[in-house]
């Protein structure tokens, strides 16, 4: 018997590639030199290129077993050009929630289209829980009999940091990568202008000293926190905590007034990394999402 709910559901969508064909043919003119960055909560960001190409990274969902919900609902259905997932954890891999022309699941290597270049580097998920509120490594080993330590970890404990190049900027989405990858991974990152790093007060992915080490080594102009608690998006059962206490301790920080901001190579901050914090702002209608209109 056929199972119509098996696998991706793109075949059900009424949308098509027409706009991508126009972009492919060079028929679309850039409307602005600025690169847009929109926050969708958890670790999800949409990058919008000067040509208007949209790249959604790490849309989230609840654990399919539904034994441990992190979110009030799954990711709102969203139309984008390119969807990307850094690793196979439920809070990063909901590519099926996107109406996307292109899906890049755990990309390793380069993909180019129009004015966007995306490349992923194969590495490993963070497993150092020494700073975390909860010792997740011990819990997983005790109750699941799974050893998540590399190099022989299961697939979901791999990670592919992703760099998006567009508009003269290089934006790194760290995913949940370990804080101490080998030198060849650091070398592959190259110059990073904007670093999207997981930060919350539970130190769930990495400890604050680890975050400081990464910022020091990358030397980005801007750091954007993600993977933190938002009271009306993320459930308390996630064990995540806000990022605001960490942000307040940083010498240079800006509280953004909405869920979208724009950058150009010319308007990046100077020598000291600026922390740009979206707070509780997300780029979807929360009321409609809670009411079921975006689900």
Structure-token pair, residue 39: 């926050």
List, in order of start, the domains of the chain with CATH numbers: 31-291 (3.60.15.10)
Mean pLDDT for all residues in the chain:
94
- CA trace torsion 185, 189, 192, 197 (10° rounding): -50
**Which whole number is the average pLDDT over 116-129?**
96
Strands 194-198 and 54-57: unpaired
Strands, E assignment, the chain: 35-39, 45-48, 54-57, 78-85, 98-105, 109-113, 116-120, 123-124, 158-159, 162-166, 169-173, 194-198, 222-226, 253-255, 260-263, 274-277
Q: What is the mean pLDDT of residues 160-175?
A: 97
Give the per-residue pLDDT at 200. 97
Q: How far apart are CA 243 and CA 132, in angstroms?
A: 14
Res 4: pLDDT? 66
272 band by pLDDT with thresholds 50, 70 and 90: confident
The per-residue pLDDT for 133 is 87
Give me 214's structure tokens: 């990464």
pLDDT score recorded for residue 139: 86
Residue 294 has pLDDT above 90, yes or no: no
pLDDT surpasses 90 at 68: no
pLDDT tens digits along 182-222 = 999 999 999 999 999 999 999 999 999 999 999 999 999 99
C-beta of residue 54 within 8 angstroms of C-beta of residue 81: yes
Mean pLDDT on 4-21: 88
pLDDT 10s digits, 132-156? 888 888 888 888 888 999 999 999 9
CA distance 96 to 83: 9
pLDDT digit string (tens) for 214-270? Answer: 999 999 999 999 999 999 999 999 999 999 999 999 999 999 999 999 999 999 988
Q: What is the DSSP secondary structure assignment for residue 72, as one 8-state letter?
A: S
How many percent of the chain have pLDDT more than 90? 83
Cα 232 to Cα 4: distance, rounded to the nearest angstrom: 32
Helices of type H across the chain:
18-24, 136-144, 183-189, 208-218, 244-249, 286-291
Across the range 23-31, mean pLDDT stands at 83
Question: For residue 141, what pLDDT is reported?
Answer: 86
Residue in 31, 27, 63, 58 with CA at minimum distance from that of residue 42: 58
Q: Which of the four pLDDT bands, split at 50, 70 and 90, describes residue 283?
A: very high
Predicted pLDDT of residue 65: 87
Q: How confident is the model at residue 37 (pLDDT cuts 50, 70, 90)?
A: very high
What is the structure's pLDDT at 66? Answer: 85
- Residue 280 is predicted with a pLDDT of 98
């Amino acid at each position: 018997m056929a199972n119509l709910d098996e696998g991706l559901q793109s075949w059900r969508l009424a949308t098509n590639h027409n706009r991508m064909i126009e972009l492919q043919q060079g028929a679309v003119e850039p409307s602005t030199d600025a690169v847009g960055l929109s926050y969708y909560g958890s670790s999800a960001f949409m990058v919008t290129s000067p040509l208007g190409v949209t790249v959604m990274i790490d849309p989230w969902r609840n654990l399919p077993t539904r034994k441990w919900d992190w979110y009030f609902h799954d990711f709102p259905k969203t139309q984008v050009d390119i969807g990307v997932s850094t690793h196979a954890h439920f809070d990063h891999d909901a590519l099926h929630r996107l109406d996307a022309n292109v899906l890049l699941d755990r990309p390793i290597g380069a993909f180019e289209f129009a004015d966007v270049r995306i490349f992923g580097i194969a590495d490993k998920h963070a497993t150092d829980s020494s700073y975390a509120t909860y010792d997740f490594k011990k819990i997983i080993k005790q109750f699941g009999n799974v050893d998540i330590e590399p190099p022989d970890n299961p697939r979901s404990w791999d990670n592919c940091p992703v760099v998006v190049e567009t508009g003269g900027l290089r934006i790194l989405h760290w995913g949940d990568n370990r804080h101490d990858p080998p030198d060849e991974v650091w070398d592959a990152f190259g110059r990073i202008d904007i670093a999207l790093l997981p930060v919350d007060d539970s130190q769930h992915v990495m400890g604050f000293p680890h975050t400081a080490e990464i910022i020091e080594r990358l030397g980005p102009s801007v750091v954007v926190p993600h993977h933190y608690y938002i009271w009306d998006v993320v459930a308390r059962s996630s064990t995540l905590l806000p990022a605001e206490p960490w942000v307040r301790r940083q010498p240079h920080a800006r509280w953004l007034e909405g869920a979208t901001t724009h950058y150009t190579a010319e308007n990046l901050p100077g020598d000291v990394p600026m922390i740009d914090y979206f707070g509780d702002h997300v780029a979807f209608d929360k009321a409609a999402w809670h009411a079921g209109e975006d689900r």
